[in-house]
Amino acid sequence: MDDQVPYFNNMDPNEESSKFVFMDPHVLSTPTLADINNDGHMELIMAVSYYFDKADKPVHKNNDENSTDIDYDMYVAGGIVCWDLKSQSWSWTVHLDLTTDKTKFKAMIYGSPTVADLDGDGISEVIIGTSLGLLYVLDGRNGFVRRFFPLQFHEIQATVAVADVKGDSDLEMIVADMDGNLVLVDANGEILWDKKVLHYLIYFVLIFIINYIHLIYSLKDLCL
């Protein structure tokens, strides 16, 4: 990615650049490969955290010559970007959370985007939980946030897992937050159940992959 990109989505190229703060993009999780628009070619979906690298802070200057330097601690942002590997261009980019660097919960994204067709309509969804505790479900075609989302949880660092836990035709999302809550959410944002499991749930998805079958049966027991 470019060294500096705006965190704003769909920035008008005619807008004065002085109105924008250009920030360092960081990809802190494994990108996800998927054919998100069903055209036979893969896209690369990445969760991006925008913040100023502390070592680079003296380098950054506001583009407005008349203004003073930026307060670097005032800007942290997160978003999802989709790169079309065939056309070598951005399919879409969306900005999600925005905070300062001074808050307890920051707009960082540590989990990988999950791509799945939750409701079986042939259109992929992109699911991501953020450090601000928000669960987003995006339309895979354009990145628009799906109706009923985001949902608020405690800080989310784990990748959101997806499975048909309920045993119907749709997929449910399994959210693990940093307060130890394990929550089952359906595609319409309804919370089917939640359980306090552990104090921290950072690597839940890793456990999920390693012991997939056992966990599914455990989750079904929780549903009873």
Cβ proximity of 124 and 170 under 8 Å: no
Sign of CA dihedral 128, 173, 200, 30: negative
From candidates 26, 60, 141, 166, binder to Ca ion by CB under 5 A:
166
Scanning 54-62, 107-115, 164-172, 191-199 for contacts with Ca ion by CB under 5 A, the matching segment is: 164-172
- Please give the Cα distance from 28 to 163 (Å, whole number): 24
Does residue number 37 form part of the binding site for Ca ion (CB under 5 A)? yes
Question: How many whole angstroms separate alpha carbon 19 and alpha carbon 53?
Answer: 21
Are the C-beta atoms of 132 and 109 separated by less than 8 Å?
A: no
- Residue 4 binds to Ca ion (criterion: CB under 5 A): no
Q: Give the residue with the Cβ less far from Ca ion, 73 or 164.
A: 164
Q: Which stretch binds Ca ion (CB under 5 A): 39-47, 60-68, 106-114, 192-200?
A: 39-47
Of the candidate spans 53-61, 159-167, 201-209, 214-222, the one that interacts with Ca ion by CB under 5 A turns out to be: 159-167
88 binds Ca ion (CB under 5 A): no
CA–CA separation, 79 vs 8, rounded Å?
9
Residue among 5, 11, 98, 123 that touches Ca ion (CB under 5 A): 123
